[in-house]
């Protein structure tokens, strides 16, 4: 059976500089897969390729049996792929509620949208307390919960997360990590997680790929990689 998401020998360039060189990644339905590596390794470029924000030069990207490289980003969203971008891009002057509802812009099932809103507010109680508050006045961690909640309003089958722990207080990072696990386990949403916090990423994922300068350096079960001496040395600061 084919994987839910597949990248095969993908090459992506920014101008004439390659960002991805022969990258192959697979994600099965129901999995959480982590992409770890240093800044500039190509992790976010994989997400941008999947979502159509950058066109690949070679290779193929397939989602649920359909070739998606070459599709417009809006068409990719409608297939059931939602992305939480790096940098907590909220609509700062809009209320928390209106930000969440923006995530459901492509849906026409009013009752389902209301149910999704209830689910998101149950998942992130802090947002329920701030529904009428301007999103730009919230803390960084609360804004990160908001953008994850906004993505869930699209009712995705695959959730792409780009550096969800970046610039977030350690306690909130733990809350977000638990939420990612719960979204995958309880709601059956598959997750592709890009994260510089390799320790956290390996702890909450089933499998992982370690990237280096646009290529896959290592891959395997997260439980095995966290014990791998190379991963410990290069990505975990030498210790588990």
| This prediction's pTM | 0.93
Contact criterion met (CB below 8 Å) for 24 and 7:
yes
Q: What is the structure's pLDDT at 170?
A: 86
Determine the average pLDDT of the residues in 209-215: 94
- Report d(CA 45, CA 122) in Å as an integer: 32
Q: How far from the centroid of its chain's Cα atoms is residue 237's Cα? A: 24
Domains of the chain: 5-235 (3.40.50.300)
Q: Which pLDDT score, from 0 to 100, does residue 1 have?
A: 77
What digits encode the pLDDT tens for the residues 180-195? 999 999 999 999 999 9
Q: What is the pLDDT of residue 40?
A: 87
Res. 50: pLDDT tops 70: yes
Cβ neighbours of 147 (radius 10 Å): 24
Q: State the Cα–Cα distance between residues 36 and 219, nearest whole angstrom.
A: 10
């Amino acid at each position: 059976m084919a994987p839910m998401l597949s990248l095969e020998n993908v090459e992506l360039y920014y101008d004439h500089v390659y960002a991805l060189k022969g990258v192959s990644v697979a994600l099965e339905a129901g999995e959480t897969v982590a992409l770890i590596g240093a800044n500039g390794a190509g992790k976010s470029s994989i997400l941008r390729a999947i979502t159509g924000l950058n066109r690949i030069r070679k290779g193929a990207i397939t989602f649920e049996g359909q070739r998606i490289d070459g599709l417009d980003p809006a068409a990719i969203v409608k297939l059931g792929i939602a992305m939480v971008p790096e940098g907590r891009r909220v609509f700062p002057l809009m209320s928390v509620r209106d930000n969440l509802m923006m995530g459901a812009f492509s849906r026409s099932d009013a009752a389902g949208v209301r149910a999704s809103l209830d689910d998101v507010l149950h998942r992130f109680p802090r947002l329920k307390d701030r529904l009428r508050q301007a999103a730009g006045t919230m803390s960084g961690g609360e804004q990160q919960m908001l953008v994850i909640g906004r993505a869930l309003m699209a009712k995705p089958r695959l959730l792409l997360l780009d550096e969800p722990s970046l610039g977030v207080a350690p306690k909130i990072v733990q809350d977000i990590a638990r939420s990612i696990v719960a979204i995958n386990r309880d709601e059956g949403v598959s997750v592709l997680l890009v994260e510089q916090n390799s320790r956290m990423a390996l702890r909450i994922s089933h499998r992982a790929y370690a990237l280096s300068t646009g290529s896959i350096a290592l891959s395997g079960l997260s439980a095995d990689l966290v014990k791998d001496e190379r991963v410990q040395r290069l990505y975990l600061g030498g210790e588990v």
